[in-house]
Amino acid sequence: MRLAYGKGDVLKAVCRKLRCGKEQLDHLEIIRRSLDARKKDKEPRYILSVEVDYRGKPPRLQPNQVDKAPKPAPPLVFSDPGSIENPPVVIGAGPAGLMAALTLAEAGFKPLLIERGAETNDRAEQVEAFWKSGTLNTESNVLYGEGGAGLFSDGKLTARSKDRTRIRRFFEVLVACGASTDILIDSAPHIGSDDLTRIIPALRNRIWERGGACTFNSKLEKIQVEEGVLRGVTVSGQAIRTEACFLATGHSARDVYSMLAEHHVMLEAKPLAVGVRLEIPQHQINEAQYGQWTALSGLGSSSFRLTRKEEGNARRCYSFCMCPGGLVISCASSEGLLTTNGMSLSARDKPFGNAAFLVPVDLADFAAMGHESGNPVLAGIEFQKQMERAAFKAGGSDYGLPAARLIDFLEGKAGELPSERSCTRAVPALLQNILPEFVSSTLQSALPKMLRELNGAKIEEATLYAAETRSSAPVRILRDPSTGQSCSVKGLYPCGEGSGYAGGIVSSALDGMKAAEQFVFNR
C-alpha cells in the first residue's frame, strides 16, 4: 500500500485479494501496519493486515496470509474483593506501578499509589531547570517522578513479549488516555515525551475515578516484616499498614535495594551493559535506510538497529533505545553522579538521531567492587557509580555531559565538539578516562564497523556522549513465579524494571499488570 493511502485504497486492495465486489464487504478495520523499505529500487510501502466482514465464498489463503494480529483484549473478570482492612500499596508511578494500580482499582481494591517524585507538570519544570542550569532535585528529576524514567525518553512501545492480550489492554488504556490510535496498528509504535506528559496524568485520573488514591513527593523508607510476612511500609516517616506492597521503584532507586538488603529480602546481582550514546545527523540515517526515496513525504524519521559479534579482544556490541529525530539528555538522581539517555518528541523531527551503543558487563567484571558497598549483591551499582562519578567530573561538575567526536575518540583524544549538536551543555572530554578499558576498546573496534552498515553515515560527523550506564537493573529481587511475591517476604510484589525482570515501557507495564492479577486471583 502506498504511503498516502486512504480507506478507499485499502478497500480496493481487499477486493482484489478476495476477488469480490465492495458490496460484499462490511466493517473494514486495519489491525496491523508496518513500513517496508527493504527494496531500494522500489518505493517504500505499507504492509497492512485488515479485518473485514465478507459475504461470499471463503478464499483460499496461503499459510503466511493467515492473520496473526492481536484482537481487542477481552475484559478481565475479577472476583469480589470483599472486605479489605488495609488496601494494597503501590510504590512507584512508572509504567509498572501505574498499570498495577489501575488493575487493582478496576478490581475494586482501592490501591494507594505512592511516588517519591512530583506529579507530571511540576516534574517537567524541575527537569527543564536541571537541563538548563544543572539544578538537581534529588527526589524529583529525569529518573524519579510520575511517569517514571520513560516519561523523558523516546516512548517506544516495542516488546519481545508474546503476551498479546496484556499488550493490547495496555495500548487500549493509553489510547483511552489520549494516545493516537496508530499505536494499536503500527508494528513499531511510539509516544513522544510531549504526548506522554498529557497521557500519564489522564492514566492517574483513571485510577482515582476507580477508587484508588495517589500521593506524590512521598518516599518509601522501610518495609515492616514479621516472620517473613509484610505488615506495612513506612513512607516519609508515616507508617502505613498493608499486607500487599507492589514495589515498582525502577532501577535507579538504589537506596531501595540497600533498604531491602537490610531487611534480608533475597536479592542477586545480575549482568548489565554500559557504553555511550552516539549521535549522527538524522538525514544520514534516513538516506541509509530509504535511499533515493528519502524525500518522500510520510516516511518520517528512520531508525536503525545494529549489532557486532565478539571478535578478538573486543566484546559483543549492540545499539539500544534508538531515538530518531531526538535529543541526547543528561540524567541524574544523586549528587555527583551523571548518566545519559535519549529522548524524542512525538514528531521525531529534530535534526539528529541517537542511540546507545552498549557493551555487555559480566558479574566477574565487578565482583571486586562488592566490598565498597558492603554487600556483593550491590557490586553492580558500585560499578555504575564509578563511571558516573568520572562522567560528572569530566562534564564540568555541573551535570554537563562529557562528549567527543567519534574520530577523536578513536584516536584517544579530546578535541573540539561540533557546533551543531542536540545537547548544548556538553564538554569536550577524553572518554577513555570514564569508561572501563574493555568497554572503550570494544567501542573503538566496533563502532566504525557498525556505522559502515548505515551507508551514508559519516563517522566524522558522529558525536559520543558518556556514559550510558542505566540500560537495565544491576540487581534482581528474587520472586516466586507462581505468585509474583518475593521469595523471602510474603506480600511483597517486586515488578517492573527495578525488579530485574523487565526492561522498557511495555514489559514493565505488563509486569505490573501481571503482579496485580496474581494478587487478585491468589487471594
pLDDT score for 396: 97
Q: Tell me yes or no: is domain 89-269+477-521 CATH 3.40.50.10320.
A: no
Mean pLDDT of the chain: 92
pLDDT tens for residues 83-118? 567 899 999 999 999 999 999 999 999 999 999 999
270 SS3 class: coil
Backbone angles phi, psi at 355, to 5 degrees: -155, 150
Terminal Cα distance for the chain, rounded: 50
- Exposure on the CB side of residue 69, measured as CA atoms within 13 A: 19
pLDDT at 520 over 70: yes
Closest of 322, 319, 363 to residue 344, by C-alpha: 322
Q: Which residue has the higher pLDDT, 515 or 13?
A: 515
Rounded-to-integer distance, Cα 99 and Cα 445, Å: 42
- pLDDT tens digits for range 226-256: 999 999 999 999 999 999 999 999 999 999 9
Q: SS3 for 170?
A: helix
Q: Which of 40-54, 107-121, 199-213, 459-473 has the lowest mean pLDDT?
A: 40-54
Residue corresponding to grid cell 574493555: 438
Residue 83 pLDDT? 57
Question: CA angle 132-198-509, nearest 5°?
Answer: 100
Inter-residue contact 276 to 435 (CB < 8 Å): yes
Provide the pLDDT for residue 66.
47
Tens digit of each residue's pLDDT (9 = 90 or more) over 146-179: 999 999 998 899 877 889 899 999 999 999 999 9
Helix (H, G, I), strand (E, B) or coil at 379: helix
Give the rounded distance of the alpha carbon of 303 from its chain centre: 16
**Percent of the chain scored above 90 by pLDDT?**
77
Residue 265 near residue 492, CB atoms below 8 Å: yes
Cα gap 442→447, rounded to integer Å: 8
- Amino acid 191: pLDDT: 95
Lowest mean pLDDT among 53-62, 382-391, 407-416, 431-440: 53-62
H/E element, 275: strand 272-281
Q: What is the pTM of this model?
A: 0.92
CB 175 within 8 A of CB 181: yes
Domains of the chain, residue spans: 7-60, 89-269+477-521, 272-468
Q: Considering just the CA atoms, what is the radius of gyration of the chain in Å?
A: 24
